[in-house]
Amino acid sequence: MTARCVMVLGTTSGAGKSWLTTALCRHYARQGLKVAPFKAQNMSNNARVVAGGEIGSAQYFQALAAQAEPEVRMNPLLLKPEADTRSQVVLMGQVNEELSNMPWRGRSLHVWPQIAAALDELMAENDVVVIEGAGSPAEINLHASDIVNMRVALHANARCLLVSDIDRGGAFAHLYGTWALLPTEERALIHGFVLNKFRGDAGLLAPAPQMLQDLTGVPTVATLPMWWQHGLPEEDGIFDDRTRASGAVSKTVAVIAYPRISNLDEFQPLKNVPGVRLVWARAPADCVGADWTVLPGSKATAADLAWLRTQGLDRAIAAHAAQGGAVLGVCGGLQMLGEALIDTHGIDGNAPGLGLLPLVTQFDLQKTVRHTHTTFGALQGAWAGLSGVAAAGYEIHHGQTAQHPAMAKAGDIAREVLPEGLGWQNTAGNVLGVYLHGLFEDPRVLHALFGATAPTLDTVFNGLADFIETHFEPGVLDQLIAP
């Protein structure tokens, strides 16, 4: 079995590569084909646990859309930014300190053999491999060390779609300029242009698509309308000003959006629950009127905690809690809610916590990466609905959290509501911290907290496939995988 490869490239980050790749995975899977996604290198703090370690969330969802088991070969290299000039490097699912300390351009020679091997194996085992690029393939300053765009396309002899976000303006220039900057042998792999996020009458685009084809020989194969609520988590950004509840708002959830926020995609189901309004909070004013304040995961807990204080959000969170408002911390957010972060290994940094839970977190060299099935104990107050609820999720963390010894001795004790130190609640009942990511993706948790359900992932994936089948030119999707 040698797969036909389809690759989705973009003129920019945020052009729509990830969701289109996901849609193509489901489309081809619905044809009865064995399909796998692939992205050689992903830079994201949104990660999921799979057999062998962790991969980018986008490839995890793409695998589910392809009806395949997510695995590390689908995203052999994951870069998790810890600062503007530093990332943790995850190779084949595992943190690699040597690569993490290596200069950016020096990595490609070291990682390409494993990337190529992973792709070759997937091609040998599947009918179709749908490949996602990164950023733009025309970053000419990076072309010599490219391991994610055209080097992959050439290796796989992939038929490529080039996507541009027309809502930003300049889409035809982006498409032509990207094509023009590619070497001749790479241009030959571009089989179609896609205009994404179009508003209005597509007929008004004429004669530009034909003019572009006259210049390049490449047809525009799809004009995709703007689609706000496709239901798939965003890969590159969170600040969706159009996030609104369906119907009357009954609960507002403010998620603190610190600079190194991680696993933000786990909150996507809240955007789909009727009556729930999700707000990404970067300033105290964003928290005003919120029923819940959520501290999500962080790739740099101490640094994000310092940013939170600089913004004055520490005072806003404390005031919300003091008034009895519900507060939830997830992973790094749980760590922030405690009294102190202790780092003797130089992993994250030492810092005083927010003091809303009498806990202390110590960072270990060993990283916990695993799927977890557990059951909540008895909870009080705002979180009482979770009492006795079974839940499934995943853990990705260096920190280990326990009771603050001095405070416990003085009688200030957090209640352990999940076994093995996975969840804690204050005595008042309004502050809850958990290590478990993915709670809101569990229908049992959604029903316990909201008495509602969100659309299933299968519903989302089928909707994406229906969308592209409607808006691509007839026959194009079949031609991309024709012998």
**Residues assigned a catalytic role:** 331, 437
Instruction: Judge whether 354 and 336 are in contact, CB under 8 Å.
Output: yes
Distance CA 282, CA 259 (A): 9
3-class SS of residue 55: strand
Q: Is the dihedral of CA 28, 30, 36, 41 positive or negative?
A: positive
Q: Nearest to residue 398, comparing CAs of 423, 367, 352?
A: 367
Phi-psi region for residue 325, left (φ > 0), alpha (ψ -120 to 50) or beta?
Answer: beta
Q: What would the two tokens of residue 471 be?
A: 């808006």
**How does strand 359-375 pair with strand 351-352?**
unpaired
Distance CA 300, CA 73 (A): 26
**How does strand 261-262 pair with strand 340-342?**
unpaired
Instruction: Judge whether 131 and 157 are in contact, CB under 8 Å.
Output: no
3-class SS of residue 234: coil
Instruction: Please state the φ and ψ torsions of residue 478, each to the nearest 5 degrees.
Output: -70, -40
258 class by beta-carbon count within 10 Å (0-12 exposed, 13-18 middle, 19+ buried):
buried
Instruction: Judge whether 437 and 46 are in contact, CB under 8 Å.
Output: no
Calculated CA dihedral for residues 281, 85, 21, 8, nearest 10 degrees: 130
Beta bridge partners of 90: 78, 95
DSSP string of 300-311, one letter each residue? SHHHHHHHHHHT
Give the H/E segment covering residue 102.
Answer: none
